[in-house]
A and B are shown apart, each in its own frame.
Chain A
Amino acid sequence: MAITLSGDQAIPGPPLSSRLTPAQVWGIVLLAPYLLVFLAFVVYPVCYGLWLARAPANYVALYNDPIFARAAVNTLIFLVIGINIKMLIALFLSGFFAVQRPWIKWLSVIFILPWAVPSIPTILSVRFMLNPEWGMVNHFIFSLTGEDGPNWLNDPTVALSMAIAVHIWKSLPFWTLILITGRLAISNDLFEAAEVDGASWWQKFRYITWPSMQTLYVTCTLLSMIWTLGDFNSVYLLTGGGPADLTHVLATLGIRYLRLDQLSLAMASIVCAMPFVLPLVYFMMKRLSR
């Protein structure tokens, strides 16, 4: 830059402002608001949180807390089983919605509703549907079989499955939409050629659709896994972590510790998730910042 040497003494360059072009000065000014928000509400809280969670005793306490272990297992089930089911359905439905029919066009408009409406009222709606005495589901079961239906949210396995179902209900339209975009990008000529050659639908999927969509599909699955780690609403508003704190996931566990005034445990439980989250985040960033 403008720093020159004279003799053996470095003469300081001109002041910073004149070394930058006016456009660059504006660039810094315009970037400043975001940097301020980032420093005040991301960097500071994260550092503060890590500082709160610094004592090894927290991790011992977590290790000894059966609810933490249960929440970790639940989170894993949620991610590995829930997300894969969701993405497979989304992949399947993206093929369905790609079919050209007027009524399918209308259905696709309706199909997006769960994504368009806020999750709180709909989750609460499902919660009442599953009410053992008054809910619609058990009324329906009773009128069909004459037997009382199960107490849905009182069994941890069923309750967690229901939370996963609610999550799928909410976010399936979004991922289907993305996969439809990917599918529509495939040239129609390929399918027409395959049609002429008499390929079955499985062969068309296996040799045309899947090869061109697999990158997108894997990216979507990973991204959905990262985001689902933070799905607080589906569990908290449906089961509240119950029965007996057996359906917590990591996202709700932090809030549970916070309510019990165990802030350092709340932070420590999040820190424990980081070894799994950070590699995924790193991978996604590599993919998206190309």
Chain B
Amino acid sequence: MTGTATRTVPRPGVRWLRRALRNPTLIAGAVIMLVVLALAVFSPTPYDPFAQDLDHGLDPPSPAHWFGTDQLGRDILSRVVAATGTDLRIAVLAAVVPFVVGLAVGLVSGYAGGWLDWIVGRVVDTFVAFPFYVLVIVVVFAAGTGERGIYVAYALVGWISYARVIRAKTRSLCRQGWVEAAYGGGLSHTRVVGRHLLPNVLPQAVVLLMTEILLIMVAVVTLGYLGLGVQPPTPDWGTMISDGQLFLTTKWWVSTLPGLAVVTTGVGLSLLGDGLADVWRLR
């Protein structure tokens, strides 16, 4: 038994780390995301992001306000930083439940096969048929705008992509014979799935998680832009872009700098996902 484990689950350790350190995409992604995460967690805002100063609206970037001020005289840098916390928190939290559920559903249906697999397949097909934004918007509509709606929406639909990918991966692993061997060798189903299948599909799921966090973040920003996401006065990149839309040509900093924050975070997540895929040799 111990022998099997050693063979199928190679110690990650040194080799993986060496490969990771040699992968520039991963390092770039990790560095960007570390900075973004630090901003989100410690939220080092120079001013109170909610404090209005109606006499100093739309001031251009200056030593006092590096990113200028918005229409209500709020410091844009502080709001961009605070929005990092809002948007990234929502994206990460909203990704957790789908990750766990999707992984479990994918593993179980892929491993069990049969009628269970068929039903999961049809449920997946059903949800896949709904255009992503339509489904999210409908749920947000029903559950109420703001964070709560977004969490409910993703808990309902987010697991699909994991279930699809993990199920396929599990199926192909099961066909390799050693799974049956493990079960035949006296291991319980739970043990086979938990100890042997899970570690093998986990990298795939983690790479997918990065993509999903990116997609959710973009969706949260889009919902904010549409007025269906984070509600004012909570700082959010989407509502900031939408607020500055009228000044796009005259006060470029109001929309452009929050937009830059979205793209930077997105590129960071994208690179991190690509890098991890490279290092785990998933492509």
Bind each other = no
